[in-house]
Structure 1
Amino acid sequence: MTDSFAYTLSMVLDDKALSIQLHGGCDIEASLVSLQALADTLAKNPIEGLLMDYSKYELTFEMDEFSKLADAYCTEFPEKFPVAFVYRENQVGRAIYMTRRLEETSRPSRAFESADMAMSWLEAQLVPRVMPPAGGAGQSSAGLGSAS
């Protein structure tokens, strides 16, 4: 029997990127809830990239379930947001599937067999995202530069 779904979070690359290491076994509902919470976090914080480490995770989702996870990455994460995956050899098919899906939706993505290689690639991808001002969607430029 595998351990239950869990993860460890840490900020990396001078606190510009989030690293998530998954542990235990697959749970589609817990994974989808976690991905939605992650998407909310990305929308509210100036995080510039993500490293998802599946190397200690029992990635046994059926393809239809894994496709739901890919859908969440592709629709909930910001465009142009880089995601590096770390995988085990027996997960290579799923890693290729996920990175292709993300690339098709303008989200740079690569999969690696080591966290060091993933981190190097991710660091090269980091481009700060512009966050909207607190409390609103921005201000009109109509009054900018006008003389009163």
Structure 2
Amino acid sequence: MYYKIDLNNYEPREVPKYQEFTNYKDIKRTQIEMISEELDNFKDSFGKDWEEWTLKDLRDRLKDNWTFYLVEGGWCFIDWNRQYPYLCNRYVMPEHRNKGLGSDLVWLRCNEIKQQGYNYAMIKLEDWNTPAKSVMKEKIFTKID
């Protein structure tokens, strides 16, 4: 399910500052190893329709004007190549789930997108992702059929 995010009346939220990596070369070897391990779990976490992706995909996305945010416990991408910035591939490692990290990633990215001058963004929520549905109840999200 896709949602449009209306940032016109959105007030930036206070969220912990996370480290941003916009260039693959900036990512430390230990972080690459951690990402590699988590990619093994990625496919199972996203169900049968998920297409497995690799570290090469990560490098290619960064070269193609995507932004990758790596935090302790998860990550998130923004694809800047669409009509509206697209928040995608949010992932929270199992041991960090149900602690608000996924929501923090969404709010931090909304803050940045608004700061960049955009009035709208897009986000996708898988039907099975019940914990994330609570964030989509905020007034700024509109379901797109």
Say yes or no: TM over 0.5.
Answer: no
Report TM bin, short chain. 0.3 to 0.5
Q: Could you say which structure has the greater relative contact order, defined with CA pairs below 8 angstroms and 6 or more residues apart?
A: 2
TM normalised by structure 1 equals: 0.35
